[in-house]
Structure 1
């Protein structure tokens, strides 16, 4: 077996790259699923991946578990994700075999995260196992992951950019409708209504834009614990005429709707690990305006080139106590786009091109295999930017 991934569950975050690796390795690839995760814990992903020929469910039987352990001892390269993979990772490290650890940032809430049992276990395994002297590298699914590792004296000089990769189908930007030139500019927000997603910010922004006379509509997709609170806020601020609550739609319909919107608002705070909706919105022709605390933002957004960044909201800000600094920054960036449609079109073209040429499953899989080959020869990455470049 050439390459094996060990992760909690095969889902839409992992399956696209997994499909590509299966083909590129001529079926010498395996994805080891470690937990029987119930549907309600899959973050809305209801797709059934059980028919994937490369899937090995270690949780399903003792035989499968033993197969997964043998692969950890014999594969050309392994990628481990999460504390559930730690037992397999320790076994492989005993043999000093080429491996990657893959994760989002560890210190979302600062050094206090080090005292959470899963992170503490991985931290101790690294230092007590003397893994810094072994062929173990880090795939960083967040622009902040490498910095966190360096603070903990882990994976220094061994971090590479990675992420979650959604499909980036061909989109003819020149031929598609330029919705930014219509009388009413359509804005989109799509997420679960959780506080870390800060649904209050786009609604408060809508109030300001309306007061200033901008012609727009804000469509908010999703559901969650704070949906009713968001609707109540829109009513209190008298923006129900410009803020529409669209509910939940299947992913394919959401991707289609993205193509009918000019600007996508991504308002999460630093607790957002990656945020695959960033990839999806950019690939489908939206200009992404995203919080600079989101894990994918610094990787995907060249500020003013492939989108715009605004100041991340404080993690403790709420409906009753919104982060005014973040709100001011968000409004400033959206107003800039509304006032400068020519800049909107340039960023739109650049972001679609970035997804099609670099941040997509095929390129990520190809680059990972190249990186593995380079590391086996004692060489560094050949990539200056994008997936598998130095983080």
Structure 2
């Protein structure tokens, strides 16, 4: 089985999945990642590396390489198409009618009202809806993707859950909770991300202020850099939080993980513009008690409010503070939530499981369309046979179109009471 993955660039959030695919399909070049542009300077300043594993081809390097990439895409049994502006690599396969899985975060990150621009709707029809009857499917990298694509009737009954899969760290016989604070020690709180408006790091400082006013011993580390850095530091000074809050600056992802492993509580404060939020995977893997916004794409898929984390509305700071106080005051509950968060990543939302399911899903869809091994993903049937997808949740399980407000409210539903712990 030959599978090609096309996206703007490879990063540390995609490498574990790609390596799992390479291992599963063998070293004979049966998996290729095609990078269509250089990594952004802003990302490298955050500690991201411009990595080039052996399975990566860079289509932008030369016209010859671009042609070689196009041939790989056309000859593949299945193409995974992520975000890219180079549609010259994508449209030929779509027009050929070959098996293709589109991978997308939500489209309308500021508001779905942007969907109703006539010119935009025409463009979406040409790129997506026009292929609704063919072997083209949508892998939803976030719980709000299906709602966005449902606006222009794309991929009806052909959507699956997907996401990002950072490195899975397994601790063997070690208990990751042993790295957390001990009874009587200050609560360790962590926030990590870019200092930009829609990440709302200022709301994490509201939590710091609340803890201080309530007399809760704590220390908060804030990892990152960005345009709002001076403003955030001024808030810390004004609230007299200098002894409680440390700005670490940017650092490599592996170093961020070390901070996560020691943190009791991880806070994400992004609004709806957070298409997924890979730091959520990483902090869950590190057994943190999660306090996360319902509007981040990863949250409705990975977090059950009150079971393996706390969920709040991104624009409701009272909810945020309530969740934070709950986590700070009840260390036993906090620890159990962290353990369950770790198990969610260890057993379901990880790269190996995603790769296993992806290969199985491609096999199921190929069989449904009557695609032979040597046909480069081209079906022998005009209509697919009925398929049974064996997973009820997690990567590659079916996704349905729901109004975005319904998705948010479902994520906010409190699933466990304190006495169930």
TM-score normalised per structure 1 = 0.91
Separation of aligned partners in 1, 2:212 and 2:145 = 38
1:63 positional shift: 1.6
Alignment map for 1:205-284 (pairs within 5 Å): 205-284=207-286
Q: Structure 2 stretches of 5 or more lacking a match?
A: 369-386, 400-421
Residues 156 and 173 of structure 1: CA distance in aligned 2, closer, same or farther (over 3 Å): farther
Paired residue secondary structure (1:218): strand
8 Å contact kept, 1:77–1:98: yes
1:175 positional shift: 6.7
8 Å contact kept, 1:7–1:85: no
1:112 positional shift: 4.2
8 Å contact kept, 2:186–2:217: yes
User: In the comparison of the two structures, how many residue pairs are matched?
Assistant: 376
Residues 246 and 38 of structure 1: CA distance in aligned 2, closer, same or farther (over 3 Å): closer
Separation of aligned partners in 2, 1:125 and 1:250 = 36
Q: Which residue is 1:338 aligned to?
A: 328
8 Å contact kept, 2:33–2:55: yes
1:123 positional shift: 3.8
Moved more, 365-374 or 106-115: 106-115
8 Å contact kept, 2:81–2:101: yes
Q: CA RMSD in A?
A: 2.0
Residues 46 and 212 of structure 1: CA distance in aligned 2, closer, same or farther (over 3 Å): closer
Separation of aligned partners in 2, 1:331 and 1:120 = 43
Separation of aligned partners in 2, 1:175 and 1:235 = 32
8 Å contact kept, 1:83–1:122: no
Q: Which residue is 1:68 aligned to?
A: 69
Q: Which residue is 1:361 aligned to?
A: 351
Residues 85 and 133 of structure 1: CA distance in aligned 2, closer, same or farther (over 3 Å): farther
8 Å contact kept, 2:176–2:287: no
Separation of aligned partners in 1, 2:40 and 2:226 = 18
Q: Deviations over 1:192-251 (max 9, x none)?
A: 111111011111222122112222121111111111101111111222232222222222
8 Å contact kept, 2:46–2:224: no
Q: Structure 1 stretches of 5 or more lacking a match?
A: 314-325
Residues 89 and 203 of structure 1: CA distance in aligned 2, closer, same or farther (over 3 Å): same
Separation of aligned partners in 2, 1:220 and 1:111 = 31
Q: Which residue is 1:87 aligned to?
A: 88
Q: Deviations over 1:294-331 (max 9, x none)?
A: 11111111111111111112xxxxxxxxxxxx211111
Q: Which residue is 1:199 aligned to?
A: 201
TM-score normalised per structure 2 = 0.84
Residue 374 of structure 1: which of 358, 364, 371 is its match?
364
1:120 positional shift: 6.1
8 Å contact kept, 1:149–1:156: no
Separation of aligned partners in 2, 1:119 and 1:234 = 45
The question of 1:148 aligning with 2:148 is answered: yes
1:41 positional shift: 4.9
Q: Which residue is 1:321 aligned to?
A: none
The question of 1:56 aligning with 2:57 is answered: yes
Higher relative CO (CA 8 A, sep ≥ 6), structure 1 or 2? 2
